[in-house]
Amino acid sequence: MTDFNDLPAHVWPRNAFRQEDGVVTIAGVPLPEIAEEYGTPVYVVDEDDFRSRCQDMARAFGGPENVHYASKAFLTRTVARWVDEEGLSLDVASLNELKIALAADFPAERITAHGNNKGTAFLRACVTEGVGHVVLDSEQELVVLDLIAAGERRVQKVMIRVKPGIEAHTHEAIATSHEDQKFGFSLASGSAFRAAEAAIRAENLDLVGLHCHVGSQVFDAEGFTMAADRVLGLYSKIHRELGVQLPELDLGGGYGIAYTEDEQPLDVDAVAHDLLTAVAKTAAELGIDAPVVLVEPGRAIAGPGTVTVYEVGTVKDVTVDEGVTRRYLSVDGGMSDNIRPALYGSLYDARVVSRFTEAAPISSRLVGAHCESGDILVRDASYPADIETGDLVALAATGAYAYAMSSRYNAFGRPPVVTVRAGKTKLMLRRETVEDILSLEA
Amino acid sequence: MTDFNDLPAHVWPRNAFRQEDGVVTIAGVPLPEIAEEYGTPVYVVDEDDFRSRCQDMARAFGGPENVHYASKAFLTRTVARWVDEEGLSLDVASLNELKIALAADFPAERITAHGNNKGTAFLRACVTEGVGHVVLDSEQELVVLDLIAAGERRVQKVMIRVKPGIEAHTHEAIATSHEDQKFGFSLASGSAFRAAEAAIRAENLDLVGLHCHVGSQVFDAEGFTMAADRVLGLYSKIHRELGVQLPELDLGGGYGIAYTEDEQPLDVDAVAHDLLTAVAKTAAELGIDAPVVLVEPGRAIAGPGTVTVYEVGTVKDVTVDEGVTRRYLSVDGGMSDNIRPALYGSLYDARVVSRFTEAAPISSRLVGAHCESGDILVRDASYPADIETGDLVALAATGAYAYAMSSRYNAFGRPPVVTVRAGKTKLMLRRETVEDILSLEA
């Protein structure tokens, strides 16, 4: 642990800054002002951070249209508009995600639809709304989509999701290209080839490429390159045996970000360069045209630019062993606004953002206000001993899968989401109230 | 595994029944009819099951007022009314839970307020609304509540939450009486005694008892009795040294239920009898009046009477090892409507409810429709090989901590909750729509 007053640049939003008075600002807006105006907890999104990461990805992968922002990380109409304005494409994984994108006037032809069990209504909406790509995940889906497209007298562009059999070094729940999981067609068993053949033969489907996804929070470029290599082998087989050159190759997402000071985010430029070079080289060796590489970052775009600001409430020293104490710092949110520590054992970087802290660090645990002892935000921490009730603490890099997976446990309403840019704040999502909760009662 | 067409009575709702045509009914209502009318996924609540478990608890613990239903398991206005009509008391653990209870006209004097970090607004509402008990969790809270009560010229009844230092055999996240956790005052260190002394001396607080909570999903009566014994030691010390006889003892919740055929629910009658006998005996030995024992079941009341009905979508056989396959059955919900398998590794009993199944069982996995490979509802199952797309499958015992912890991941709207009683259905909570999700956008 370096100085607790630092804000490690690779973890915190690009426009986060600690002023001379100790107060942290994002895009020039002091976080205590946001807490005062909107209450706590509150998510604060650095809009320029989000947009700049869209631009970085677009540059690295040869154009914004090759980069599909993964909605599941965090989607609102505003987010969809940002993605559209930056020229990126968009992944959706449910009918409602598609509806939100369309409600933001996101162009349907730049949308790709995912899911292991899309359901007829979602597939039909994809066809009728003119969604650019549907990524087929099962034989059943292939047949159903072909029928729907026939009924609508359309030809639907599709990709085939392939399991290349790579085990990425990540949490099991979010590692998605090994064989024993629900997504895609196995490369090894030949079912991916058979699906490609069926899609090519289907009258109302137009197969434009194969898709694979190595996992989430991947820090190791090797997995992507190995997956690309294996999948290109199938491109070559399809070319040889079926006479079709597939123009696109979707390598999914999974670009790891730094949640803690010790972690280093995956270097997107370097990985993109290596990946595109490897794809070109392998394609040349196989005697096929190199397909355009598409990628699907979600977390790597939405994650680092957002912080969650909490107010410290109860402070309690607990004896955990003879002579050993742990300070429990309770905040006014918890597992309802960020399930990731409880669900995946995820780590976070927390700092006091309302002032400088001076005291020496002591063994600490940052916990939420839920009626559950597993409601822990940071399990093993070393924080200054002078953190006290009323201080504002922020967790960094909460832009992905925090709001998106938030619950109303203990009837906590969801916190608001506030965007900041050039010294100005704007409310993106208002705080949920008990009236919102009661509005579902019949 | 016995016959897959069975509905193990200790796991399924009390009024669940498989008809001669193979269709499962609850309280006389066929589940396929509910699926047809309300769509899937849908939670179905057996109202009489819920009420009968309230009555069982009331009988076991010497009167309904001694039993506090724990809101966090599942709370709606309807549920609060049921609890009120059965004469039980109610636990709340947030300002919004209190508001929902009051919106149902639940009598405030039968409400107990919990939480490690209640916050001033919640504490103030407890005082002004006349909440029966506030369970104090920290020294800071004791001081603040005394001040608030003074300002309102009221005397607030309180209890002190004590950590008796018992490790219950349960998932770490939900084991709550060991020392290294956020709740309560340590018995061993003397801080619980000091808190009791401070509460007795505080002018605007009226200490009526001590509270402890052994954990959740406890199957072992021993933990409760040991905790009671230790806490009664403190009653005796308070009596001896401070001259005060505390009239109540709250032993919390944690009564385990059966999620699978192999589990046996805790025998509430037997545990209550043993517990009350032990408390009386220990009190007599200590020379104090035996306090009235209060308990706080949530899951044991709300859990067993509810099932979640899904429709099977994609069916996919996956080769997991040479010659070994696993069938992936995808349903139209998942970790958004039930996070417990992903969060705690919880197990569930799933059955086809729309017809008889006949085929021999094969290695299967029941997964959701979310864009995440950890979206697994039942990880290692053995289900009949004739389950197919369009079948309705229900998970039993989903009444507690499923809806309560539900999210909108992938913008899935929450499923509706339908109650059934005496052949009739009633909508308790309507399905969330994309309009509900968009309504938070500023």
How close does chain A come to B289, measured CA to CA in Å? 31
Residues near A296 by beta carbon (within 8 Å), at least 6 away in sequence: A67, A68, A69, A70, A91, A112, A213, A250, A251, A252, A253
* B308 CB within 8 Å of a chain A CB: no
The whole-angstrom separation of Cα B121 and Cα B115 is 13
Nearest to B327 by CA among B292, B300, B357: B357
Beta-carbon separation of B117 and A331 below 8 A: yes
B343 vs A266: which has the higher pLDDT: B343
Beta-carbon separation of B438 and A374 below 8 A: no
The whole-angstrom separation of Cα A296 and Cα A70 is 6
> At A219, is the pLDDT very low, low, confident or very high (cuts 50, 70, 90)?
confident
- CA-based end-to-end distance of chain A: 52
What was the pLDDT predicted at B165? 81
Beta-carbon separation of B75 and A180 below 8 A: no
Q: Cβ distance A1 to A361 under 8 Å? A: yes
The whole-angstrom separation of Cα A266 and Cα A218 is 8
The amino acid at residue B332 is: D
What was the pLDDT predicted at A321? 81
| Bridge partner list, A419 | A45, A426
Count of positions (residues) in chain A: 442
CA atoms within 13 A on the CB side of B283: 20
Mean pLDDT of A245-271: 94
> At A179, is the pLDDT very low, low, confident or very high (cuts 50, 70, 90)?
confident
What was the pLDDT predicted at B172? 52
Q: Is A54 a catalytic residue?
A: no
The whole-angstrom separation of Cα B298 and Cα A376 is 22
Report the SS3 class of residue A348. Answer: coil
* B432 CB within 8 Å of a chain A CB: yes
* B194 CB within 8 Å of a chain A CB: no
Structure-token pair, residue B201: 């001396």
A331, A368, A409 member nearest B405 (Cβ)? A409
* B144 CB within 8 Å of a chain A CB: no
Q: What dihedral do alpha carbons A160, A166, A169, A173 form, nearest 10°?
A: 50
Task: Give percent of chain A above pLDDT 70.
Answer: 97
B372, B373, B428 member nearest A442 (Cβ)? B428
Other C-beta atoms lying within 10 Å of the C-beta of residue B317: 15
Average pLDDT, chain A: 95
* B183 CB within 8 Å of a chain A CB: yes
Residues near A190 by beta carbon (within 8 Å), at least 6 away in sequence: none
The whole-angstrom separation of Cα A65 and Cα A42 is 32
Lowest mean pLDDT among A157-166, A408-417, B34-43: A157-166
Beta-carbon separation of A438 and B175 below 8 A: no
Phi, psi dihedral angles at A366 (to 5 degrees): -100, 120
> At A168, is the pLDDT very low, low, confident or very high (cuts 50, 70, 90)?
low
Choose the mutation target among B97, B114, B116, B310 for the interface with A, i.e. most A CBs under 10 Å: B116
Q: Cβ distance A309 to A81 under 8 Å? A: no
What was the pLDDT predicted at B147? 98
The whole-angstrom separation of Cα B77 and Cα B75 is 7
A positions 328-357 inside 8 Å of B (CB):
328, 330-332, 339, 342-343
Phi, psi dihedral angles at B111 (to 5 degrees): -105, 140
B positions 396-415 inside 8 Å of A (CB):
404-414
How close does chain A come to B31, measured CA to CA in Å? 20
Binding-site residue numbers of B are 254, 296-299, 340, 344, 372, 401
How close does chain A come to B374, measured CA to CA in Å? 4
What crossing angle do the helices spanning B47-60 and B77-85 adopt, rounded to 10°? 40
* A120 CB within 8 Å of a chain B CB: no
Structure-token pair, residue A435: 């009236």
B47-302: CATH class: alpha beta
How close does chain B come to A316, measured CA to CA in Å? 7
The whole-angstrom separation of Cα B299 and Cα B417 is 17
Q: Cβ distance B8 to B261 under 8 Å? A: yes
Residues near A42 by beta carbon (within 8 Å), at least 6 away in sequence: A34, A35, A308, A309, A415, A416, A417, A418
Using the predicted structure, report yes or no on whether residue A170 has a pLDDT greater than 70.
Answer: no
Choose the mutation target among A47, A71, A112, A116 for the interface with B, i.e. most B CBs under 10 Å: A116
Beta-carbon separation of B440 and A432 below 8 A: yes
What was the pLDDT predicted at A160? 98
B positions 373-392 inside 8 Å of A (CB):
373-375, 389
CATH number of B16-46+304-438: 2.40.37.10
Beta-carbon separation of B331 and A117 below 8 A: yes
- CA-based end-to-end distance of chain B: 52
Question: Residue A377 is inside which H or E element, if any?
Answer: strand A376-384
* A100 CB within 8 Å of a chain B CB: yes
Beta-carbon separation of B174 and A374 below 8 A: yes
Nearest to A44 by CA among A28, A26, A18, A24: A26
> How many Cβ pairs within 8 Å bridge chains A and B?
250
Nearest to A439 by CA among A408, A401, A415: A408
Cβ-based contacts of A77 with chain B (< 8 Å): 438, 441
What was the pLDDT predicted at B392? 98
Report the SS3 class of residue B65. Answer: helix
Supply the Cα-derived Rg of chain A in whole angstroms. 23
* A89 CB within 8 Å of a chain B CB: no
Beta-carbon separation of A138 and B314 below 8 A: yes
Report the SS3 class of residue B17. Answer: strand
Cβ-based contacts of B330 with chain A (< 8 Å): 116-117, 182
* A147 CB within 8 Å of a chain B CB: no
Domain layout of chain B by residue ranges: 16-46+304-438, 47-302
Nearest to A374 by CA among B344, B198, B169, B27: B344
B77, B318, B375 member nearest A180 (Cβ)? B318
Report the SS3 class of residue A244. Answer: coil
Other C-beta atoms lying within 10 Å of the C-beta of residue A5: 15
Those residues of chain B that have pLDDT short of 50 are none
Phi-psi region at A255: left, alpha or beta (left = phi > 0; alpha = psi -120 to 50): beta
